[in-house]
Chains A and B, each alone.
Chain A
Amino acid sequence: MPFITRNLIAWRAKRIEDPVARLRYLQQKAGPSPYGKKWRVVAGLLLIGCVLIPGYKLANTKERAFLPITRVSAAGVDIFTNVWLVDKTQDFETYSNGLRIDNRYAVPNEPRVPYPVYPRAALDASRPESRSQPAGIVFHTTESDQAAFEADQNKKLKRIGEEVLGFVKRNHCYHFLIDRFGQVFRIVQESDLANHSGNSVWADDHVVYVNLNASFFGIAFETQTQKGQDLPSATAAQVHSARVLTQMLRGKYRIPAANCVTHAQVSVNPSNMLVGYHTDWSGNFPFLELGLNDNYTAPPAAIAAFGFDYDPTFVHATGARIWQGLGLAEDQIRSEAAAQGLPVPQYRSILQKKYKEIIAALKASAKEKSHAT
């Protein structure tokens, strides 16, 4: 193995905190080839020959089966807690895990209807599967004005909080908002869609979700993202409330921990095919405090499944935790391109084409529905 490659592998491996994930990575990258050196040379020459023959095309690149996204976070343990509604009044709901939801700002919106998902094994715009249950949670920040979290700022804190609530209610922004005192407000009903994730992509081990408003809940923390900040930009009360709210939603809808992600992880910009159009919770989300796996270590699905890229601005805006996932997604693209016998840019453009086909199909379907109504 060349010195540079070896050092690069070792460097990348060092960035993976989980020992099992690190071993998996090293076994994949540094493991011996089942074939001897000679065969590798012969195979390399053949590949170069194929590329140089005019008009040669590797058979059926469109129809290739794509591998499922590699699991890189620690082996996920999905434990669903049985949380039940204890008490309900017109304005409040109380749950058995201590969660209290304030319904005074709740509004209806467009109902959730069956939405398409795309199996990883056959990522095809024309052959989606249909789901109707919420599949995940996207965590947001309101990026609203912040007053110092001090007793003498109480009046200001309350005023800003109410203004934010009014804004998100008018715009049907999220399903829930957690204010700085940790109060949980229901905004859009659970049965309806909220406008929270626009252009976005996520995937679990089986399927890819595109434009998550239809499939994921949106929970917003009233806070602002701080660049390069390691500690959560949330109050202890917010973290506690988010934990019990997440617990309730996961238990009620059997949402896997792997599908609880931040807006920065899922947001994409189709116009330039870059990830991270929104960067809220881009590096300091308290996954573990919420009883979730550190999903920052998972490769962003938009890169691995649809060949999106990222730019230095995104790297600058995010933290080291999310870089692990970025590095792994890049590795994955390279490995899969090699497995398909394609240069990385060509492989990436095949993936991007699949995304564009899916977006076109989604738009056509939406148009059809609006005509029907």
Chain B
Amino acid sequence: MRHNDKVNNNTALGLDVGTSRVCLAERSGEGFQYETQLNAFVNIPYSKMTEGVLKKEKVPHTVNGTEIVVHGNESDRFADLLNVETRRTMSKGVLNPAEPDSLSMIRKIVESLLDPSKDRQKLCFTVPAAPLGAEENLTYHEATIRQILSDMGYEVKSINEGLAVVYSELESSNYTGIGISCGGGLCNVCLAYLSVPVLSFSIPKAGDYIDNNTATVTGERSNRVRIVKEDSFHLNGFFADKLQQVLGVYYDEMIQSLVNGMKQAFSNSRSLPKSGRNLPIVLSGGTALPEGFRDRFEKIFSEAELPITATEIRLAADPLHSSAKGALVAALADL
């Protein structure tokens, strides 16, 4: 019976293709379940013994001549052990143009989460919005991910990442409000009205920006900065050490840029609803996780005098998975 249950439940899937992580969402009974892989890889020297150990431990890897490429979640651990940086398939929300193996590795990472579909299952994946004030250049990224998933047999559609947050979190307001996903490469913002995206944009300052700049100032590796940030950082005004203090500075700058971007976008937009400019705002994504993030955002937002007011500003119920859940909800609605 369990087998039948799994087969029948998987009527649709949601995939959040983020700069930092790739997250798969699927229905599980009345709820949802998620599986995440780090969107990164690391090369280690080949030896028969290393390959044997990786196989035994079921670590996702590929042998490539004299090297073994470890991808997904385990890449972080190996990079830390070997004191090297992980390589990233994506940068600033799209496929990394500086990474020659980006295409093959993102395919491997996606394949480690998804089995090929035999019956054209619906799958909805997230794409970023165009950066504010910059030319839209997302076609290649979107087409490539679409191709990878179509090759695996899925019936694919894409959804703006900010809109996915709205679909995941703002059911109570009839999918009206602002969804913000603060990820690794970008912060994506989408204002939706009765489920229809009215305005969306991204800003290129997010988790990676914070990590890289903090690493430069402190002399640490970005990888380590990220681990510290995810493990113990909080935005409560008291910093235990220099690394945390520098992280706080860059977090502030990122939030300031995000709110400025919202002010600019909403002030220039003619498509904002004339009435009902009191909207709920939901913050999600790994970069929104540190304690105090919501309060800091609320403070900067309230000082910025935007043409909209927030009826509430809250953190998503499950910030790491809300984009994937929203993509799944969009796929289910398309059934």
Q: Is A bound to B? A: yes
Residues on A facing B (Cβ under 8 Å): 3, 6, 9-10, 13-14, 19-20, 22-24, 26-27, 29-32, 71, 75, 77-81
- The 24 listed contacts between A and B (C-beta, < 8 Å) are A3-B275, A6-B194, A10-B174, A13-B194, A19-B171, A20-B332, A20-B333, A22-B174, A23-B195, A23-B329, A23-B333, A26-B174, A26-B196, A30-B193, A30-B194, A30-B196, A75-B12, A75-B27, A75-B335, A77-B9, A79-B1, A79-B4, A79-B8, A80-B4
Contact B8 A23 (CB under 8 A): no
Contact B167 A31 (CB under 8 A): no
In the complex, chain A residues whose CB is within 8 Å of the CB of B171: 19, 22-23
In the complex, chain A residues whose CB is within 8 Å of the CB of B11: 75
In the complex, chain A residues whose CB is within 8 Å of the CB of B119: none
Distance from A8 Cβ to chain B, minimum over Cβ atoms (Å): 11
Known: A23-B167, A31-B195, A75-B335. 4 other contacts (CB 8 A): A23-B330, A27-B196, A30-B195, A78-B8
Is B57 part of the binding interface, using a Cβ–Cβ cutoff of 8 Å? no
Is B175 part of the binding interface, using a Cβ–Cβ cutoff of 8 Å? yes
Is B136 part of the binding interface, using a Cβ–Cβ cutoff of 8 Å? no
Contact B4 A32 (CB under 8 A): no
Distance from A371 Cβ to chain B, minimum over Cβ atoms (Å): 47
Is B135 part of the binding interface, using a Cβ–Cβ cutoff of 8 Å? no
Distance from A209 Cβ to chain B, minimum over Cβ atoms (Å): 23
Distance from A165 Cβ to chain B, minimum over Cβ atoms (Å): 35
Contact B195 A26 (CB under 8 A): yes
Interface residues of B, CB < 8 Å — how many?
A: 23
Binary interface encoding of chain B residues 1-28 relative to chain A, with 1 for a CB under 8 A from any of its CBs, else 0: 1001100110110000000000000010
In the complex, chain A residues whose CB is within 8 Å of the CB of B196: 26-27, 30-32
In the complex, chain B residues whose CB is within 8 Å of the CB of A3: 275
In the complex, chain B residues whose CB is within 8 Å of the CB of A14: 174
Contact B333 A79 (CB under 8 A): no
Distance from A15 Cβ to chain B, minimum over Cβ atoms (Å): 11
Number of residue pairs A-B, CB distance < 8 angstroms: 57
Bound form: Cα–Cα A270–B187 in Å: 59
Contact A81 B1 (CB under 8 A): yes
Distance from A243 Cβ to chain B, minimum over Cβ atoms (Å): 16
In the complex, chain A residues whose CB is within 8 Å of the CB of B329: 19-20, 23
Contact A79 B5 (CB under 8 A): yes
Dominant SS among interface residues on chain A: helix
Bound form: Cα–Cα A78–B329 in Å: 20
Binary interface encoding of chain B residues 173-217 relative to chain A, with 1 for a CB under 8 A from any of its CBs, else 0: 011100000000000000001111000000000000000000000
In the complex, chain B residues whose CB is within 8 Å of the CB of A30: 193-196
In the complex, chain B residues whose CB is within 8 Å of the CB of A78: 8
In the complex, chain A residues whose CB is within 8 Å of the CB of B195: 23, 26-27, 30-31
Distance from A27 Cβ to chain B, minimum over Cβ atoms (Å): 5
In the complex, chain B residues whose CB is within 8 Å of the CB of A75: 11-12, 27, 332, 335
Bound form: Cα–Cα A77–B8 in Å: 6
- Interface residue ranges of B59-76 to A (CB < 8 Å): none
Residue of B with least CB distance to A1:
B194
Bound form: Cα–Cα A12–B122 in Å: 27
| Contact of A26 with B175 at beta-carbon distance under 8 Å, contacts A20-B333, A79-B1 already known | yes
* Residue from the list B1, B27, B175 in contact with A23, Cβ < 8 A: B175
In the complex, chain B residues whose CB is within 8 Å of the CB of A24: 333
In the complex, chain A residues whose CB is within 8 Å of the CB of B175: 22-23, 26
In the complex, chain B residues whose CB is within 8 Å of the CB of A31: 195-196
Contact B174 A27 (CB under 8 A): no
Bound form: Cα–Cα A179–B174 in Å: 43
The 8 A-B residue pairs with the shortest CB-CB distance, nearest first, are A30-B194, A26-B195, A19-B171, A24-B333, A23-B333, A20-B332, A13-B174, A77-B8
Distance from A14 Cβ to chain B, minimum over Cβ atoms (Å): 6
Distance from A267 Cβ to chain B, minimum over Cβ atoms (Å): 29
Distance from B256 Cβ to chain A, minimum over Cβ atoms (Å): 33
Residue of A with least CB distance to B274:
A3
Residue of A with least CB distance to B12:
A75
Contact B335 A71 (CB under 8 A): yes
- Interface residue ranges of B109-148 to A (CB < 8 Å): none
Residue of A with least CB distance to B176:
A10
In the complex, chain B residues whose CB is within 8 Å of the CB of A13: 174, 194
Bound form: Cα–Cα A22–B275 in Å: 22
Distance from B318 Cβ to chain A, minimum over Cβ atoms (Å): 14
Residue of A with least CB distance to B167:
A23
Bound form: Cα–Cα A22–B175 in Å: 9
Bound form: Cα–Cα A32–B28 in Å: 32
In the complex, chain A residues whose CB is within 8 Å of the CB of B193: 30
In the complex, chain A residues whose CB is within 8 Å of the CB of B332: 20, 75
Name, among A9, A13, A20, the residue most crowded by chain B CB atoms within 10 Å (CB to CB): A20
In the complex, chain A residues whose CB is within 8 Å of the CB of B333: 20, 23-24, 27
Bound form: Cα–Cα A23–B194 in Å: 9
Contact A26 B194 (CB under 8 A): yes
Distance from B122 Cβ to chain A, minimum over Cβ atoms (Å): 11
In the complex, chain A residues whose CB is within 8 Å of the CB of B275: 3
Bound form: Cα–Cα A78–B11 in Å: 12
Bound form: Cα–Cα A23–B1 in Å: 31
- Interface residue ranges of B320-335 to A (CB < 8 Å): 329-330, 332-333, 335
Residue of A with least CB distance to B197:
A32
Name, among A31, A71, A75, A78, the residue most crowded by chain B CB atoms within 10 Å (CB to CB): A75
Distance from B3 Cβ to chain A, minimum over Cβ atoms (Å): 11
Bound form: Cα–Cα A298–B333 in Å: 15
